[in-house]
């Protein structure tokens, strides 16, 4: 049975910046009756209570917003969603798993915008995983949500190429905008019964975990290729880092050198700047930041810390 999409009652659930273009596209084209996002959280050095990008969009558009602390066993929230009686719920990087009783409410179910070409890279860090693994291509999937993480039937997909210098930030923004366009193009076809959902091939599934700060620690025994991808995948968060003179040294930008030099982690001078030997080949350091200091170019850093030459980064 088809539906007049302009009159369909849609609830949106999302939290971070990735969700923002997707929500904005929905608001511009359809009837978003309520927005659900995670509770305000303290952020920054001063731990100021901050609203999510999605809450800010909701307030700017005078749309009702809910911020439940949890969804599981939250009867009051369930009753509220049931009372709203949406035709559809759209989810994009919300952060909570939706319980079965919520999934059963919308007439057309719950659909999710996921930043990979499922079944590849199910899980919490598909953007970082694509860069870490040296993918040349990734994309966005619009899928039906079931009780299992990222295992629902696929409605549509769109591909995106990765640039050689792609960072998490650049790929994040690229896939966010792609996801917004794909959703807007997919919704009319789905709600009018023109799309046959396609089951995922579980045998081809891969998974990517939640990224932690510890994942940014550099292992200099790895190849220059691996570390260079790690730097790009974890920019700007959690960042990549090592230790020098018992202080944390953040590595913000690097480039590969096809040269074998010395012991893994050993720093040498290169082109009036710095380079580091890796398990295979070496890396030229472009930008770095010593604990408590500002970001510097390698040349600027070398002017103030010449004793780094010959040291072994830990």
Domain membership of residue 313 (yes or no) is: no
Among 190, 208, 226, the domain-final residue is 208
Q: If DSSP codes are grouped into helix, strand and coil, which group holds residue 70? A: coil
Q: What is the CATH number of the domain that holds 225?
A: 3.10.25.10
Domain membership of residue 128 (yes or no) is: yes
pLDDT at residue number 95: 86
Is residue 252 domain-shared with residue 158, that is, in the same domain? no
* 275, β-bridge pairs: 268, 284
Q: What is the pLDDT of residues 276-286, one digit of tens each?
A: 999 999 999 99
The segments of the chain whose pLDDT lies below 50 read 1
Residue span of the structural domain in which 82 resides = 5-208
- By residue count, the chain amounts to 314
Is residue 192 domain-shared with residue 255, that is, in the same domain? no
CB environment 177-214: b (16+ within 10 A), e (fewer) = ebbbebbeebbeebbeeebeeeebeeeeeeebeebeee
Domain membership of residue 264 (yes or no) is: yes
Domain membership of residue 187 (yes or no) is: yes
Is residue 260 domain-shared with residue 124, that is, in the same domain? no
Is residue 56 domain-shared with residue 169, that is, in the same domain? yes
Is residue 15 domain-shared with residue 136, that is, in the same domain? yes
pLDDT at residue number 3: 58
Among 208, 225, 243, the domain-final residue is 208
Is residue 46 domain-shared with residue 154, that is, in the same domain? yes
* 290, β-bridge pairs: 249
Is residue 143 domain-shared with residue 228, that is, in the same domain? no
Is residue 172 domain-shared with residue 228, that is, in the same domain? no
Give me the phi and psi of 297, to 5 degrees please.
Answer: -75, 160
Domain membership of residue 314 (yes or no) is: no
The total of structural domains in the chain comes to 2
pLDDT at residue number 250: 97
Is residue 221 domain-shared with residue 183, that is, in the same domain? no
Among 174, 208, 242, the domain-final residue is 208
Domain membership of residue 97 (yes or no) is: yes
State CA 129 to chain mean position distance. Answer: 10
Is residue 238 domain-shared with residue 180, that is, in the same domain? no
Q: Tell me whether the omega of the peptide bond preceding residue 236 falls within 30 degrees of 0, making it cis.
A: yes
Cβ atoms 176, 17 nearer than 8 A: yes
Could you give the CA distance from residue 105 to residue 88 in angstroms, rounded to a whole number? 9
Is residue 235 domain-shared with residue 196, that is, in the same domain? no
pLDDT at residue number 33: 96
Domain membership of residue 148 (yes or no) is: yes
Q: Which is it for strands 31-36 and 64-66: parallel, antiparallel or unpaired?
A: parallel
Query: Which residues of the chain form beta strands (DSSP E)?
Result: 9-14, 31-36, 41-43, 48-50, 64-66, 88-92, 110-114, 122-123, 137-144, 154-161, 207-208, 240-244, 247-257, 267-270, 273-277, 282-290, 296-297
Domain membership of residue 10 (yes or no) is: yes
Is residue 114 domain-shared with residue 179, that is, in the same domain? yes
Q: What is the CATH number of the domain that holds 112?
A: 3.40.50.170
Q: What is the pLDDT of residues 262-306, one digit of tens each?
A: 899 999 999 888 999 999 999 999 999 999 999 999 999 999 999
């Amino acid at each position: 049975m088809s539906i007049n999409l302009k009159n369909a009652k849609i609830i949106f659930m999302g939290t971070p910046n990735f969700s923002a273009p997707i929500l904005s596209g929905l608001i511009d084209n359809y009837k978003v009756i309520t927005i659900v996002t995670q509770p305000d959280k303290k952020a920054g050095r001063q731990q100021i209570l901050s609203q999510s990008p999605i809450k800010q969009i909701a307030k700017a558009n005078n749309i009702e917003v809910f911020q439940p602390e949890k969804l599981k066993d939250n009867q009051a929230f369930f009753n509220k969603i049931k009372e709203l009686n949406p035709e559809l719920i759209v989810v994009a990087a919300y952060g909570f798993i939706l319980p079965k009783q919520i999934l059963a409410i919308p007439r057309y179910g719950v659909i999710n915008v996921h930043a990979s070409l499922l079944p590849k890279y199910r899980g919490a860090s598909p953007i970082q995983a694509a860069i870490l693994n040296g993918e040349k291509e990734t994309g966005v999937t619009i899928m039906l949500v079931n009780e299992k993480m990222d295992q629902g039937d696929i409605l549509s997909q769109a591909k995106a190429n990765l640039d050689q210098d792609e960072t998490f930030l650049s790929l994040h923004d690229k896939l966010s905008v792609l996801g917004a366009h794909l959703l807007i193009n997919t919704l009319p076809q789905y709600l009018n019964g023109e799309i046959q959902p396609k089951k995922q091939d579980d045998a081809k599934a891969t998974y990517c975990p939640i990224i932690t700060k510890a994942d940014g620690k550099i292992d200099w025994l790895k190849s220059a290729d691996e570390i260079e991808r790690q730097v790009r995948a974890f920019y700007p968060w959690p960042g990549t880092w090592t230790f020098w003179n018992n202080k944390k040294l953040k590595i913000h930008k690097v480039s590969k050198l096809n040269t074998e030099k010395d012991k893994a982690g050993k720093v040498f001078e290169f082109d009036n700047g710095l380079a580091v030997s890796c398990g295979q080949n070496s890396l030229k350091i472009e930008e770095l930041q010593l604990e408590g200091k500002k970001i510097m170019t390698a040349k600027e850093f070398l002017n103030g810390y010449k004793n780094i030459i010959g040291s072994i980064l830990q």
